[in-house]
Amino acid sequence: MNDASPPAPLDIAALREEFPILRQTVRGRRLVFLDSAASAQKPRVVIAAMVQAMETQYANVHRGLHWMSERTTDAYEGTRDAVARLINAPDRHEIVFTRNSTEAINLVAHSYGRGVLRPGQAVVVSEMEHHSNLVPWQMLRDAHGIELRVAPVSDAGELDMAALERLLADRRVGLVAVTHMSNVLGSYTPAQRIAALAHDHGARVLFDGSQAIVHRRVDVQAIDADFYVFTGHKLYGPTGIGVLWGRRALLDAMPPFLGGGDMISSVTWERSTWADLPHKFEAGTPAIIEAIGLGAAIGFVESVGYDAIAAHEAALTEHALARLSVIEGVHVLGRAQDRGGVVSFTLDRAHAHDVATLLDRQGIAVRAGQHCAEPLMRRFGVDSTTRASFGVYTTGDEIDQLADTLARVREFFA
Amino acid sequence: MFEDLRDLYQEVILDHGRRPRHGARLAAFDATAKGDNPMCGDRVQVFVRRDGAGRIAEVGFEARGCAISIASADLMAETVAGLSAGEAQALAARFRDMARSGEGAGDDAAIERLRPLAGVHEFPSRVKCATLPWHALLAALDGKGEASSE
Ligand SMILES: Cc1ncc(COP(=O)(O)O)c(C=O)c1O
């Protein structure tokens, strides 16, 4: 938050009106949706933008010389501008649309990993990566002779910066690929310091911003990142659309990921040449409607404002930690100083799945399991956790319901 | 508050889920297999000791998982003791049907003992919690070593 004055508090009641699904009842009770970190609900403006695009101006993009195609292309490319503005990218051509974060990371692992990194170099990930920022690097390691190094997290759930520095010391690391915010612990990582450290040791840096960008403003230039990825569906947008941002010089040096239509400049039997950025990395007909939906989602987030979102969610998280920590038998994973709206916990004598089933009976949706972060679970010595995660529409009242119900869950399994 | 969940979490299940009687590796065993549900992280390893006639003398297990999966493993260990491999397979098939449909499967003592688990059929995401130990048992009897929850 850059502003000196605190942001005006959100009008949550009005905001919730924008999310039609929140009026649904589950098992006869009002839905308490505490699973936004898995995928967020969609505001009316996103739904309307997608429907309107299909009803009034739909055609393929970059292909037709007709009115419909031009309008659709404008809308699709408009989202690229919106993303560039959202993350303060210096150049709109550096925004590549993908299906999701997973595909964006795989694109970098493939094109930068095999095209630029050399066997014998290393990639560093952290202990708190989602599998989607781990498995692509394991695949690169096995296929391309790249060493994979793992930076530990502390018991508090914070990235161990001293250990990261030691991993970088031999200057063999080509890329540091770490989360900007853990989907399990809620911890933010100090992106700017990580980037500076990586650059001091001759490495590039990729941030998995899937969670981070939902809760806070991201400025890729201020961070001094080299790559930044996020996924539309967690940012109140549709599924099927994600973003890779990369510095132009890096993207230019990388070979294409997928081959096909739209990504070429010329094709003969002998050879093809690649289209300019970003089209080089957008083979085939893209997720047009979803990109338009993402544009609307970004508009929504900007209209609410990151200062207000961050303040609201910080208050919710503090409230949740205060309420949960006084329930006997509840143990919250991680105590990071700098955290976003995600809280994972275990309950003595009750497995996370049993907890989730009981909560669900009261209309409370949480996630239970390993959260696609099995190595992190092992690091903290747990098989699974229950996770409550918050969005702009989450209320303190919902957190109270979670805490009150958890106290009863505890009695049930006592 | 959770009265409507008593069907799923019957006293027998809570009891065996909390204090399984067979929840340990056997000191000596003839067959073993692991079962794994990668979606949720449930994991079980089943150990089988056979008697001189080749029937199941004793089953033990090591597991991490929810109350349903632990209770299911424990009741399985209890009900398959004394059965031949073929009989255990037949009971497994009947149990699976009961877990999926909630009904039928006969009225012999073994299936009645397992009936408290029939409540899972109303919770599609939890059916595999109940069936995972059985998959592992069948894999052990087949000499396969690994089973998946599907
Ligand atoms: C931190 C993090 N990274 C990556 C992902 C993968 O996102 P997606 O499945 O949309 O590719 C997720 C969410 O599932 C996540 O929380």
CATH of residue B79's domain is 3.90.1010.10
Query: For residue A91, what pLDDT is reported?
Result: 97
Of B2, B43, B68, the CB nearest to A358: B2
User: Going from the N-terminus, what domains does chain A have, and what CATH number goes with each?
Assistant: 12-38+305-413 (3.90.1150.10), 47-302 (3.40.640.10)
Q: Each residue of B67-106: pLDDT tens digit?
A: 999 999 999 999 999 999 999 999 999 999 999 998 877 7
A274 CB-near residues (< 8 Å, 6+ apart): A256, A263, A264, A265, A280
**Beta-carbon pairs below 8 A across chains A and B:** 52
Q: Each residue of A328-365: pLDDT tens digit?
A: 999 999 999 999 999 999 999 999 999 999 999 999 99
**Which chain B residues are Cβ-neighbours of A353 within 8 angstroms?**
40, 42, 65-66, 68, 126, 129
CA–CA min distance A351, chain B (Å):
5
In ligand 1, the atom with minimum distance to the C-alpha of A232 is 10
Query: For residue B2, what pLDDT is reported?
Result: 87
Q: What would the two tokens of residue A383 be?
A: 């098989």
What is the DSSP secondary-structure string of A215-280?
HS---HHHHT-SEEEEEGGGGTS-TT-EEEEE-HHHHHHSPPSS-STTSEEEE-SS-EEEPPTTGG
Q: Each residue of A154-180: pLDDT tens digit?
A: 999 999 999 999 999 999 999 999 999
CA of A230 to the centre of ligand 1 (A): 8
* Percentage of chain A exceeding pLDDT 70: 98
Is residue A367 classed as helix, strand or coil in its secondary structure? strand
Q: What is the mean pLDDT of residues A67-76?
A: 92
Is residue A201 classed as helix, strand or coil in its secondary structure? coil
Q: What is the mean pLDDT of residues B37-45?
A: 82
Number of other residues whose CB lies within 10 A of the CB of residue A327: 16
Report the range of poorest mean pLDDT among A31-40, A258-267, B111-120.
A258-267
Q: Residue B65, class by beta-carbon neighbours within 10 Å (0-12 exposed, 13-18 middle, 19+ buried)?
A: buried
Q: What is the mean pLDDT of residues A59-76?
A: 88
**What is the value of ipTM here, to two decimals?**
0.87
Query: For residue A143, what pLDDT is reported?
Result: 95
CA-to-CA distance for B6 and A124, rounded, in angstroms?
48
Q: Are A250 and A112 in contact (CB under 8 A)?
A: yes
* Percentage of chain A exceeding pLDDT 90: 89
Q: Are A244 and A227 in contact (CB under 8 A)?
A: yes
Q: Measuring CA to CA, which residue among A402, A264, A394, A276 is closest to residue A345?
A: A402
What residue has token string 């001189």? B52
Mean pLDDT over the full length of chain A: 95
Q: Do A383 and B67 lie within an 8 Å CB cutoff?
A: no
Largest CA distance in chain A: 72
Q: Above 70 in pLDDT, residue B150?
A: no
**Is the preceding peptide bond at B38 cis, omega within 30 degrees of 0?**
no
Q: What is the mean pLDDT of residues B111-139?
A: 93
Is residue A169 classed as helix, strand or coil in its secondary structure? coil
Q: Are A148 and A125 in contact (CB under 8 A)?
A: yes
Query: For residue A6, what pLDDT is reported?
Result: 65
A146 confidence band (pLDDT: 50, 70, 90): very high
Q: Above 80 in pLDDT, residue B117?
A: yes
Query: For residue B107, what pLDDT is reported?
Result: 81
Report CA-CA distances (Å) from B121 to A26, A83, A177, A273, B89. Answer: 19, 45, 43, 57, 20
The catalytic residue among A45, A161, A372, A407 is A372
Mean pLDDT over the full length of chain B: 91
Q: What is the mean pLDDT of residues A24-48?
A: 95
Query: For residue A2, what pLDDT is reported?
Result: 47
Give the structural domain span for B81: 2-148
Q: Do B40 and A353 lie within an 8 Å CB cutoff?
A: yes
Of A358, A384, A412, the CB nearest to B40: A384
φ and ψ at residue A119, rounded to 5 degrees: -50, 140
In ligand 1, the atom with minimum distance to the C-alpha of A182 is 1
Q: Above 90 in pLDDT, residue A261?
A: no
B149 confidence band (pLDDT: 50, 70, 90): low
Q: Are B74 and B21 in contact (CB under 8 A)?
A: yes
Q: Who lines ligand 1 at CB under 6 A?
A: A 100-102, 130, 132-133, 179, 183, 208, 210-211, 231, 372
Q: Above 60 in pLDDT, residue A136?
A: yes
How many distinct structural domains can be found in chain B? 1
Active site residue A92: no
Query: For residue A1, what pLDDT is reported?
Result: 43
B144 confidence band (pLDDT: 50, 70, 90): confident
B118: which DSSP letter?
G
**Which chain A residues are Cβ-neighbours of B64 within 8 angstroms?**
383
Q: Above 90 in pLDDT, residue A410?
A: yes
A210 CB-near residues (< 8 Å, 6+ apart): A101, A130, A132, A179, A183, A229, A230, A231, A234
Q: Measuring CA to CA, which residue among A402, A311, A404 is closest to residue A356?
A: A402
Q: Above 60 in pLDDT, residue A22?
A: yes
CA-to-CA distance for A34 and A395, rounded, in angstroms?
10
CA–CA min distance B100, chain A (Å):
17
A368: nearest CA partner in chain B? B40
CA of A182 to the centre of ligand 1 (A): 10
* Percentage of chain B exceeding pLDDT 70: 97
